[in-house]
Amino acid sequence: MKTLPKISEAEFEVMKVIWKNAPVSTNEITEELTKTTSWKPKTIQTMIKRLVTKGALSYEKQSRVYVYTPLVEENEYIEQKSRSFLNRYYNGDLSALFSSYIEADSLSESEIATLRELLDKGMKNGRK
């Protein structure tokens, strides 16, 4: 697995907008994020620049507008973060993670049903 850039929680919010709308302009990113955050446009532009520097985004100048495209796939990034979390807090033991949620009674019936379906699907795909 390739090493992905480290992205802060705030930068992750920017990436979610870009993943959803790519290719997307600075103005479109700013418009979307000012609806859901209290960030100023300059703050958003700074985060976009950081993401370019980190290698998470590429950009192209179209006329007077910068258009951004992700260089990191959303599912790749989330998988890396999930594995990191699992390794850090549960020594890579997925069953320990689920056990902690079950023991704390943190999973709804719906979530448990979804997990059962995912496990069944994994079994049908030849995983044991």
For 46-63, the pLDDT digits (tens) are 999 999 999 999 999 999
> Which pLDDT value is given to residue 102?
83
Structural fold of domain 1-92: Arc Repressor Mutant, subunit A (1.10.10)
Domain-by-domain residue ranges, the chain?
1-92, 93-128
- Per-residue pLDDT tens digits for 69-113: 999 999 999 999 998 899 999 999 988 988 888 888 888 889 889
128 has pLDDT over 60: no
**Is pLDDT of 127 > 70?**
no
Confirm if 74 and 91 have CB atoms less than 8 A apart.
no
d(CA 55, CA 60): 14
Using alpha carbons, select from 51, 52, 54, 46 the residue that is nearest to residue 3: 54
